[in-house]
Structure 1
Amino acid sequence: MKITALVVLSFFVIGQAVAQNKESIQNKKKMNTTEEHYTFQLSNKVTRQKVHFKNRYGIVLSGDLYLPKNTDQKLLAALAISGPFGAVKEQSSGLYANQMAERGFAALAFDPSYTGESSGEPRNVASPDINTEDFSAAVDFLGLQKNIDREKIGIIGICGFAGFALNAAAVDKRIKAIATTSMYDMTRVMSKGYNDVVTSEQRTKNLEQLGLQRWKDAESGNFASSANNLPEKITGSEQQFVKEYFDYYKTPRGFHVRSINSNASWTATMPISFMNMPILSYIKEISPRPILMIAGENAHSRYFSEDAFKAAAEPKELMIVPNSVHVDLYDRLDKIPFEKLTAFFQNNLK
């Protein structure tokens, strides 16, 4: 299936149906991953508990609830955290939850619908509506816990889930404060490509190809997979952001067997609902609740945060992290401004 070069370069877009190859399996074994593998160390100041909860579509979401030890607070402020797009809770979102729990918050990192340990069939599907709902379902869960103050719940969205977090906050007034890091607007990039360069003719062609793929899926009774999100090897000639994604998802730094970006691929028709459902249409309605947007100075995705910041109403703040790229804000403890995040939520969840 022929598609534009820009779409090919994106690690979450349409491709031809392929089986997981032998090299990927060998790579998984080499990394010696297990179901309990986390890409970070649990803080000795924090406890972690497996939890499950349903969203309003009946999908059972799997999460890890991180709680601070030795706290004298009877009711904790809480955070729901997810992302990046195609990642699992044992990766970046869990790292964030671990750090924020160490700083006194109850923090829930969760796998989105159809991915990781969460339920939903077929596997490896994303939806701007359902993934927005996943955040609200996490708020449901947190607000029912006896040790959490349901009037003090915020959310953190990383990468593609930053866009879903903003969309969730616009519609769900229970969310009191919102932070995003390395934000992607997935509906914008899938519809228009990076930097909005996809023409109307190219968009039409992409939609026609998605329609043809639907016929194939309907005839076979199965949902075909796209090409693997990232190559198994890189040559050095790839675009810089592809190298950066590879360095996180395909090396021991961030590899996880259940992560779509590490070890699998989306369904080929996954982009359909993203193509005409812009998720930031109501971003102004987040106000008067505060927004903190954080982006790397050298991130290829920086413009998403800057544009969303311009569109949002006050109160809002944009923080640019010097000498940082997109994936630095996934796991680099010396780059992620956790003290800024802590102060933001302490000031706004009270």
Structure 2
Amino acid sequence: MKAIATLAVLSLLIGHAYSQNRNKPSNQKKTMDQKEHYTFQPRDKVTRQKVTFKNRYGISLVGDLYLPKNQEGKSLAAIAISGPFGAVKEQSSGLYAQNMAERGFAALAFDPSYTGESGGEPRNVASPDINTEDFSAAVDFLGLQNNIDRERIGIIGICGFAGMALNATAIDKRVKAVATTSMYNMSRVMANGYFDALTPEQRAQTLEKLGQQRWKDAAQGAYAPSSNNLPEQLKGNEPQFVVDYFNYYKTERGFHPRSINSNGAWTATNPLSFMNMPLLTYIHEISPRPVLIIAGENAHSRYFSEDAYKAAAEPKELVIIPNAVHVDLYDRLNIIPFDKLETFFKDNLKSESPTKGTTGQTGK
């Protein structure tokens, strides 16, 4: 089973074999209003405003800024939020932002470069460098707002953008605290496979295929999409984590037309930069700023969070949510520990004591 799961993860993340039906959405998908469709309901105590800002590569990013109502004249702590990998701001990151705004924070959920409503060509590309920069660009934007205290800015990274969030915090000392949920280390899994099961020979074969694909793309003057995608229908023999992804991205629960995981595919050569650029090399340099890492007890990705926790320096905390799987932390309001996130950021986004944090491991 572990070998089957390894191949399934590699298929999804590196891109070898799933449905080609990404451009054939169901009738329910066709009728959705792409601009206004959110996978969660708005809250009366929160406002949402569409905003744009640029990263230092000149790419225009689009986000939703959530603010608590009746906070005029106050200087707010702020949180930049992105993820999961292949998702858009109308999905998990927006849900997180809205809930954190309801708890008194300014919260910015944004689409990363080359995805969603954000700019960048070609589409459906990710980069450990550029997506790390996207978080710092969000910090740029937040720090220029009159109602935000630029000395009280934190980050939340979800799933694959948890690694980019930690990477951004390591290099950007303006970030005073960082939290991750359902972390995936995208450079590690693309370079080494699930549970580091990719052999040197398999890695070499993958790189050879990707190199050949570059010539094909150059000859065609366009970037081919990967055949990698979630299936349009489950056959019943998929690993449980694939079923979990399907039940979020491919159903009314979490589907969004702009989400790559819902209705598209990464480019075929997308893994290249991740396979050669480790994300968490300097995670220890986040210290003395605090790190909060949250994972589900039964998440297939749990080992990424545990290993990141080991690599991080104090102050740090690992929270394991009993019985939760990876996607439970995308949208399950009764499972996502928002009380913990609120306490963590309120304790650590203080002007007078920005590095105060908790230490240790909690949960099961």
Both proteins in one fold, TM over 0.5:
yes
3-state SS, counterpart of residue 146 of structure 1: coil
Range with greater deviation from structure 2 (290-299 or 69-78): 69-78
Q: Which residue of 2 aligns with 1:12?
A: 13
User: Cα 1:339–1:193, aligned 2, differ >3 Å: closer, same or farther?
Assistant: same
- The C-alpha deviation readout for 1:121-151, integer Å capped at 9, x for no partner, is 0000000000000000000000000000000
Q: Which residue of 2 aligns with 1:191?
A: 191
Quick check: 1:343 aligned with 2:338?
Answer: no
1:319-338 matches, within 5 Å, as 319-338=319-338
Give the AA of the match of 2:314. E
- The C-alpha deviation readout for 1:256-279, integer Å capped at 9, x for no partner, is 000000000000000000001000
Percent of pairs with identical residues: 72
Quick check: 1:171 aligned with 2:171?
Answer: yes
How far apart, CA to CA, are the structure 2 residues paired with 1:142 and 1:88?
Answer: 19
Q: Which residue of 1 aligns with 2:70?
A: 70
Unaligned regions of 5+ residues in structure 2, if any?
A: 351-364
Range with greater deviation from structure 2 (69-78 or 177-186): 69-78
Contact 1:79-1:108 within 8 A present in 2 as well = yes
Quick check: 1:53 aligned with 2:69?
Answer: no
Quick check: 1:269 aligned with 2:269?
Answer: yes
Q: Which residue of 2 aligns with 1:136?
A: 136
- The C-alpha deviation readout for 1:313-340, integer Å capped at 9, x for no partner, is 0000000001100000000000000000
How far apart, CA to CA, are the structure 1 residues paired with 2:22 and 2:124?
Answer: 17
Structure 1 segments of 4+ aligned residues over 4 angstroms from their partners: 16-22
Quick check: 1:255 aligned with 2:255?
Answer: yes
1:73 deviates by 6.0
- The C-alpha deviation readout for 1:238-292, integer Å capped at 9, x for no partner, is 0000000000000000000000000000000000000010000000000000000
Contact 1:17-1:225 within 8 A present in 2 as well = no
1:1-350 matches, within 5 Å, as 6-10=6-10, 11-15=12-16, 20=21, 23-24=24-25, 26=27, 28-29=29-30, 32-71=32-71, 74-350=74-350
How far apart, CA to CA, are the structure 2 residues paired with 1:151 and 1:5?
Answer: 43
Give the AA of the match of 1:71. Q
How far apart, CA to CA, are the structure 1 residues paired with 2:20 and 2:120?
Answer: 21
Length-normalised TM-score, structure 2: 0.92
3-state SS, counterpart of residue 265 of structure 1: coil
Give the AA of the match of 1:24. P
3-state SS, counterpart of residue 24 of structure 1: coil
Q: Which residue of 1 aligns with 2:357?
A: none
C-alpha RMSD of the superposition: 1.6
Contact 1:18-1:225 within 8 A present in 2 as well = no
1:13 deviates by 2.1
Contact 2:191-2:274 within 8 A present in 1 as well = yes
1:33 deviates by 4.2
1:227 deviates by 1.6
How far apart, CA to CA, are the structure 2 residues paired with 1:275 and 1:22?
Answer: 28
